Amino acid sequence: MKNLIEDVTCAGCYCACDDIRLETDGQQIQEVQTTCSQGQAWFERAATTDQLVPQIQGQPVSQTTAIERAVELIQQAQAPLVTGFSQTSTDTQRAAVALADQTGASIDTGATAVTRALQQVGEATCTLGEVRSRADLIIYWGAADLLSNARHRQSLVTTSPEITRKTVVMGEAGSLVSDFADECIQIEPERELEVIWQLRALLKGVDLAGKEPVGIAEAELQSLASQLKQSKYIVFFTGPAFKQGLLAHRKLEALSLLVKEIQSERRCHAITVPNSSETKGAEHVLAWQTGYAATVNFASGFPRYSPGEYQATRLLEQSQVDLCILTGGNPLAGLSDKAIKNLKQVASILAGPVLLPDFQPDVFLPTGITGIHFPGSMYRYDGTPLPLRGFLPTVQNSEADVLKQISQSL
């Protein structure tokens, strides 16, 4: 008997679309009504999770044996790391923070640059509902892939006759191909910080006459400043390309200051966007549990924050980790190639609904999928918490339960 289920939330990517319709036979998903390839792949994963079995060094074992081996690895570790929260629920993230606290591990959400910037100057943000209903100028800075996402564009469609909206894409030349933008502005990636300061100067009435703009054509800089002055509600979407480089947090700081200055006269907000294969939310959980949103270390018995020291990618690249505990359907998201290469040389524990073909952990603990097999919640990339539903049975435990089992066995 087929069951039609409506308004299902998809945790396949940061968009977390909550209007998915699907059909099930009570045991498996028969059809998913979505045009998103990432969402389709996420729902299709439910058909294979029950076939996964616990493993140690690639060999099938019982759940109890796998848990015991995971506990042994944790007890032997001197510098453990907990990371990999993409496509995980809030409950999983809370359990991961508790495990990191119990084991004296470092824990990182991957939101280092954003966290450093917001701690300095704060954040002015909004929900997608506000963008859809009020924004008349939307700027995608280093986030052209978001604009190309059909589901995202659909979420911003408004029927209000009062809104005449303009869309601008900004970034390096190769990322400006878009059929959905009204204007594309080329900016040299290494000069984005200067461009923001030049915009701030123009909006404050500082005359740049006689000074050649840096990183952007003068006509485009003047045009952008004019549009910022004329618009009533402005929203910046900053993507992965904008958050790259050693000075990424400084660029985010400068943009936050620009947003705050624009707000003195009109509405303006900024929304940060992760990589297309990642999700957000772990930084919120870590912040309310420890006071810090990323790069936390519990080795001293209390949370310590140091973005230059406890970042997951840096710890792995510098071989300062002897055990890595990973969770989620995309556990390696956000790690550099060098970090992944070094990760394969240290002990690792993976608790999740997928076993990656090119990564074999020392201990693999299979789980079901929160949002398909278990209820829960997650955050959309605009910071909105959304409910996840459980509508299919499974023989597996949830990721949160597996982490709690490890914690109780320590």
> For 308-346, how does the pLDDT look when each residue is reduced to its tens digit (9 = 90+)?
789 898 999 999 999 999 998 889 888 889 999 999 999
pLDDT at 157: 85
Q: What mean pLDDT do residues 352-357 have?
A: 91
How do residues 270-304 score in pLDDT, each as one tens digit? 998 887 667 788 888 988 899 888 889 999 999 99
The answer to whether 297 and 304 are in contact (CB under 8 A) is yes
> Please, what is the average pLDDT of the chain?
89
What tokens does 314 get? Answer: 């840096």
pLDDT at 251: 87
Looking at the whole model, is its pTM more than 0.75? yes
- Residue 145 pLDDT greater than 90, yes or no: no
Domain boundaries, the chain: 53-110+280-409, 114-272
What tokens does 102 get? Answer: 């119990």
Environment class of 195 (CB within 10 Å of its CB; exposed 0-12, middle 13-18, buried 19+)? buried
The answer to whether 164 and 179 are in contact (CB under 8 A) is no
- Residue 180 pLDDT greater than 90, yes or no: no
Q: Which pLDDT band holds residue 176 (cuts at 50, 70, 90)?
A: low
- The residue with tokens 């003068």 is 218
CATH top-level class of 53-110+280-409: alpha beta
Q: Which pLDDT band holds residue 112 (cuts at 50, 70, 90)?
A: low
How do residues 62-78 score in pLDDT, each as one tens digit? 999 999 999 999 999 99
Lowest mean pLDDT among 32-41, 192-201, 204-213: 204-213
pLDDT at 111: 67
pLDDT at 354: 92
* β 233-238/304-305 pair status: unpaired
- Residue 363 pLDDT greater than 90, yes or no: yes
Rounded CA gap, 34 and 291, in Å?
A: 37
- Residue 232 pLDDT greater than 70, yes or no: yes
Rounded CA gap, 152 and 178, in Å?
A: 14
Q: Which fold has domain 114-272?
A: Dimethylsulfoxide Reductase; domain 2 (3.40.228)
How do residues 19-60 score in pLDDT, each as one tens digit? 899 999 888 998 888 768 888 889 999 999 999 999 999 999
pLDDT at 174: 61
